[in-house]
Structure formats: structure tokens, C-alpha cells
Amino acid sequence: MYNDNPTLNFNDKTIDEKKQGDVFFKEQIAKKDQELTKKFYIESYGCQMNFSDSEIVASILAEQGFSSTRNLEESDLILINTCSIREKAEDTVRKRLRIFDKVKAQRPGTLVGVLGCMAERLKTKFLEEEKLVDMVVGPDAYRDLPKLVAGAEEGNKGVNVFLSREETYADISPMRLGTNGVSAFISIMRGCDNMCSFCVVPFTRGRERSRDAFSIVAEATELFEKGYREVTLLGQNVDSYKWENPETNQPVSFAHLLEMVAKVHPDLRIRFSTSHPKDMTDDVLHTMAAYENICNYIHLPVQSGNTRVLDLMNRTYTREWYMERIEAIRRIIPDCAVSSDIIAGFCTETEEEHQDTLSIMSFSDYSMSYMFYYSERPGTLAARKYEDDISLGVKKKRLQEIIRLQQQISFEHNQRDIGKRFKVLIEGDSKRSDQDFCGRNSQNKMIVFPKQEGLLPGQYTWVEVFEATSATLKGKIVH
């Protein structure tokens, strides 16, 4: 089929030689294609949703003939998917843009695009502040990226930060980036309607909308068929997932959706993030308990343990409500691990109120937490209504106390796992040694254990834990 090319004629060769020639020729063509196609490089910051969005962006660009590269220096298009959640996240992005400027100087014609929350927050301001940025694209405008790139190639800088009420990218099959081939994210909804007073997300990601449930199941099925064994359903507030089947007018809740995805295959593990204490229903907990493949792990951010502060944060639950939710988890799924997000030093927080956060951490017995000190974000309710009056020193001191306590709780949590046996999904080699595998148990704890002949990433094995630190468990395979 290729030998009509005058430069290569395989006709007189043996079949083996011909095969080798074919391979050589195909490689040459692939190489030529690679040289001809434009390459994009994408870097992601922030939440899992951003990483998932980058996979949608990659897929949109691949459709247009772009190929992806991990090498910044050889890219024609550098994209940075940004996070605005705290000031520090934005500072990191600005630093990276300085580095991209240098690459651009060495390779004139290279385009730089800013995607995600910072793009949405700063809009055209970005182009004024960062002169060398060529396009600014908000989270709902990724379909427009090829057009914006084409415009930028002509020298026209472009901005699309239109926020949609409908866009869910339901029809786009994400191109998996940096994947271990075992676990993948599936975005089930976009935006957030909650308006927590500290949070910039409702402004950068727009109104909440849920994705077609069948497209979610189809994506999970496709992933399973490709060998993936774990999916994490992503949304800012998964418990408020709500979609209506247009054919039957039947509503699909998050509990229904979980069940639909769990039924894809018993060997496909289901995780989800993030749950909101005000919306997490017993229905969801019962569904989790009913399906072995829905993991016993809930990320249930508390933010603060004090009712007055929670009220200022507009979290719409009280300390007692949160504690009752923890009790419901224990009642319905006794071996469920719970993790949290915690903010230290929110506006007007007193020392006693900070102590309430520490005590709710002990009560909740979090397996782990993401912990931050409050960072005022322009435009949020808190920035408009409250004074950011806790000094940086006090914020840092309270955060340190929170971190220290969490380390202790995690350590004790993990110590209790010693002697227990867990079903582990093997993810790959451990970070420290290629003689060891690492994988997670249902409770989302990473376990490191010596490899065994015949076992591969993507397979399940039983592991008994014999050692634990606050971060990792060590174990050995048992039959």
C-alpha cells in the first residue's frame, strides 16, 4: 500500500524484509506527521476538576490535529490551566508565565494561552497585565479554543470567558493525560451554586449544571473496556447532582447515578468528590453500602467546627448538623473513611472558635485533611462583607495547630489498620522502589507492598498491613 511511493519499493524483498520495511516506512510517516502537526503543552493547577478539564481541552485540540507534548521547549502552543482559589495559587501561575515568556523569546511564534479560573476572574485584564499571553479562555469556552488559536496565529489576541448555563462537554471523550492507566476522573457536573462566602469558584465556574447521566455511564464503560479499574466522579458538590431523563422525565439523583455507574462492572471502583454536608443524603450512604465497588471514602469538607463561623462562611449547616452527618456515615457504613477541607483564621474567628475546629476534627476522626489559612479573594461575599482581620501570624499559628492535630489523628487512624487485610487496586510501582507496588484500599489509603510474580497494575490483590506512618501503610500480599 505504500510502495507506490517512488523512493521506496519493496517489491523484490522477502516477506520479512518487506514487513520490516513497512514498519520503517510507517515510522517515517508517523515521524513526518509528528513534525507537521502542531504540538501543545498543557500544565494544570488546582483542583481535580482542572486536571479533568485539561483532558477535555486536549481532546478538543487533538480533534483539530494537534498532538500533545510533555516537552515545553518543543511546543507550539503552551497552555496553563489555572486556579484562583487562594492568592498563592495565582502567584504560582504568574511565576510560570515568566518562564513561558522565556520559551517564547527563544521560539518566536509559540503561543501562550491562559485557561481556567484565573482566566475567568481576570478576563481582559490578563492581556493588559501579562503582555505575552495570546489567549484567555474561561472554563466554559474550551470549544472555542481552536478558533482562538487560529486568531492568535494571525496576531489577534483572543478572549472568551463566556460562562454557560448548559455546557457540560458531555459529548467529549477526554484524552487521558499523565494517566497510570488504572484510575481516571469523570466530570459529572460543572459550576457551583453554593456561594460559600470565602470562595471564588461560583464566580469563576458559573452556575451549577449536571451532565447527562447516560454520557457519564458511557464514559465509565469505555474506561473499563480500556483497562481502567477506578473512576472518580467529580463535581464541586456532587450531592446536588440532578438530571432529568428527557425520554421518561425521570429525575436522576446522585444516589441513582452512583448506582448506574456501580453497575458498569463489579471490578470498576467508584469514588467521588466533593460532598457537601448540607446535601449528603442517607440515600447516598445506603447506595454506597449496597455496592462493594463504591469505595468507602467520603471527602466531606467541614471548613470550620464553629456554628457562628460556619454561618459567616454561608455553609448553611451547623456544627451539630455536621456531627450528625458523621454519625450517619458511621451508622450506615461503619468502615468508611472521611476526609476534610479546613480553613484557619476566617474573618473574626476567635481562639475559642478555632478550638471548635480542633475538636470537630477529633470527633470526625478524619483519615486526612486539606488544610489552609484563609486567603481573601476579590469579589467574594466575604471580601465584600467582612474584614480580613485575623493577622497572618495568628492564621499561621492556628493552621499549624490544625496540621499537627491532623497528623496525630491520621497516625492513629493508620495504626488501627495494622493487622487488617484490605482489597487493594494496584496502581503501579511505589515511589521509592521498583521492587514494591503501591495501591489504594477502599478507604483511599495508599498501601505499599512487595511485588509478586504475575501481578500487574490494574489488578486487585489482598494485602495485610504490618506498619503505618501518618501518610502511608506498608503491607504484604496475602491469599
Query: What residue ranges bind ligand SF4 (CB under 6 A)?
Result: 192, 194-196, 199, 201-202, 236-237, 276
Q: Choose the one of ligand SF4, ligand 5AD, none that binds residue 374, judging by a C-beta under 5 to 8 angstroms depending on kind.
A: ligand 5AD
Nearer to ligand SF4, 158 or 206 (CB): 206
Beta bridge partners of 42: 79
Nearer to ligand SF4, 192 or 255 (CB): 192
Contact between 317 and ligand 5AD per CB under 6 A = no
Nearer to ligand 5AD, 144 or 401 (CB): 401
Q: Choose the one of ligand 5AD, ligand SF4, none that binds residue 203, judging by a C-beta under 5 to 8 angstroms depending on kind.
A: none
Q: Choose the one of ligand SF4, ligand 5AD, none that binds residue 112, judging by a C-beta under 5 to 8 angstroms depending on kind.
A: none
| Minimum distance, C-beta of residue 219 to ligand 5AD, in the bound complex (Å) | 24
Contact between 449 and ligand 5AD per CB under 6 A = no
| Minimum distance, C-beta of residue 43 to ligand SF4, in the bound complex (Å) | 22
Nearer to ligand SF4, 162 or 370 (CB): 370
Helix axes 351-364, 319-332, angle to 10 degrees: 10
Among 269, 315, 354, 377, binds ligand 5AD (CB under 6 A): 377
Edge-to-edge strand ranges of the sheet holding 368-373: 297-299, 337-344, 368-373
Pick out residues in 450-469 that bind ligand 5AD (CB under 6 A): none
Contact between 85 and ligand 5AD per CB under 6 A = yes
Calculate Rg over the CA atoms of the chain: 25
- Among the listed residues 192, 124, 151, the one whose alpha carbon sits nearest the alpha carbon of residue 380: 192
Cis peptide before 274, with omega less than 30 degrees from 0? yes
Contact between 296 and ligand 5AD per CB under 6 A = no
Q: Alpha-carbon distance 140 to 115, whole Å?
A: 10
Name the segment binding ligand 5AD (CB under 6 A); options: 264-272, 371-379, 403-411, 466-474: 371-379
Chain CA centroid to CA 478, Å? 32
Nearer to ligand 5AD, 377 or 445 (CB): 377
Q: Alpha-carbon distance 23 to 8, whole Å?
A: 13
Task: Report whether 220 contacts 259 (CB < 8 A).
Answer: no
Q: Choose the one of ligand SF4, ligand 5AD, none that binds residue 202, judging by a C-beta under 5 to 8 angstroms depending on kind.
A: ligand SF4
Cell reading at 82 = 489555572
Q: Choose the one of ligand SF4, ligand 5AD, none that binds residue 276, judging by a C-beta under 5 to 8 angstroms depending on kind.
A: ligand SF4
Contact between 299 and ligand 5AD per CB under 6 A = no
| Minimum distance, C-beta of residue 253 to ligand 5AD, in the bound complex (Å) | 23
Among 303, 410, 442, 461, binds ligand 5AD (CB under 6 A): 303
What sign for the dihedral angle of Cα 55, 57, 62, 66? negative
Q: How do beta strands 158-160 and 135-137 pair?
A: parallel
The residue ranges of DSSP E strands in 345-398, in sequence order, are 368-373
Q: Alpha-carbon distance 169 to 390, whole Å?
A: 41
Query: 307 burial class (0-12, 13-18, 19+ CB within 10 angstroms)?
Result: middle
Nearer to ligand SF4, 317 or 422 (CB): 317
Q: Alpha-carbon distance 239 to 254, whole Å?
A: 6
Query: Residue 53 has what DSSP assignment?
Result: H
Among 40, 142, 198, 203, binds ligand 5AD (CB under 6 A): 198
The count of other CB atoms within 10 Å of the CB of residue 289 is 16
Q: What is the DSSP string of 211-277?
A: --HHHHHHHHHHHHHTT--EEEEE-TTGGG-EEE-TTT--EEEHHHHHHHHHTT-TTSEEEEE---T
Close Cβ partners of 411 (under 8 Å, ≥ 6 residues apart): 468, 469, 470
Name the segment binding ligand 5AD (CB under 6 A); options: 165-173, 221-229, 282-290, 368-376: 368-376
Amino acid at 334: P
Contact between 86 and ligand 5AD per CB under 6 A = yes
- Number of chain residues interacting with ligand 5AD (CB under 6 A): 12
Beta bridge partners of 187: 234
| Minimum distance, C-beta of residue 139 to ligand SF4, in the bound complex (Å) | 12
Name the segment binding ligand 5AD (CB under 6 A); options: 164-172, 220-228, 369-377, 445-453: 369-377
As a dihedral over the C-alpha atoms of residue 114, residue 98, residue 108, residue 60, rounded to 10 degrees, the angle is: -20
| Minimum distance, C-beta of residue 403 to ligand 5AD, in the bound complex (Å) | 14
Q: Choose the one of ligand 5AD, ligand SF4, none that binds residue 86, judging by a C-beta under 5 to 8 angstroms depending on kind.
A: ligand 5AD
Site string (320-359) toward ligand 5AD, x via CB under 6 A: ---------------------x-x----------------
Q: Which residues of this chain interact with ligand 5AD, rule CB under 6 A?
A: 85-86, 198-199, 301, 303, 341, 343, 372, 374-375, 377
